[in-house]
Amino acid sequence: MRHIPKILILATCLFVLAAHSIYAMDALLGEIMSIDAEDRQMVVSVDQGVDSDAPRRIVVSYDRQSLPGFVQPGAVVRLWGEYVGGGNSEFRLQSLRNGEGLHHGHDPTGVRSRLKHGHDGHGMGMGRNQGGGRH
């Protein structure tokens, strides 16, 4: 019974430290311009926002031996990591995801496909002469 408060305090401290490290990462969304597998770097084009029309190019360094198959020049990716050297032109990668969409085109259950295509080519699962809409 005496150890429960100590365990709770320790668990809370570990949670706070883990949450801090996650929120300390920067997030980027950009298009891969080139990949140098030998030096483990890629150049990513990132929009600068409303202030500028020209995208900014960032050199992204990574430690992985290999990258996922979707990582190719021209692909849109989401990057998490931190800027290196006090500037905003070099980035150290921690995590990488496909940036093309929330579900990356996957429909493991087929529900979105059935809702989209429906019966007889009509959306929302409604056939031609079934209720659920104006005719």
Q: Report the alpha-carbon distance of residue 120 to residue 118 in Å, rounded.
A: 7
Q: Give me the phi and psi of 21, to 5 degrees please.
A: -70, -35
Sign of the CA dihedral with 104 first, then 49, 53, and 95 last: negative
Specify the fold of 27-98: OB fold (Dihydrolipoamide Acetyltransferase, E2P) (2.40.50)
pLDDT in tens, 66-90: 888 889 999 999 999 999 887 788 9
Confidence check: pLDDT of 117 > 70:
no
Q: Which tokens is 37 given?
A: 């597998």
Nearest to 32, CA basis, from 62, 58, 54: 58
Residue 110 has pLDDT above 90, yes or no: no
Model pLDDT, residue 134: 54
One-letter amino acid of 101: G
For the full predicted model, state whether its pTM sits above 0.85: no
Tell me the pLDDT tens digit for each residue of 39-60: 999 999 987 666 666 788 999 9
Q: How far apart are CA 126 and CA 57, in angstroms?
A: 47
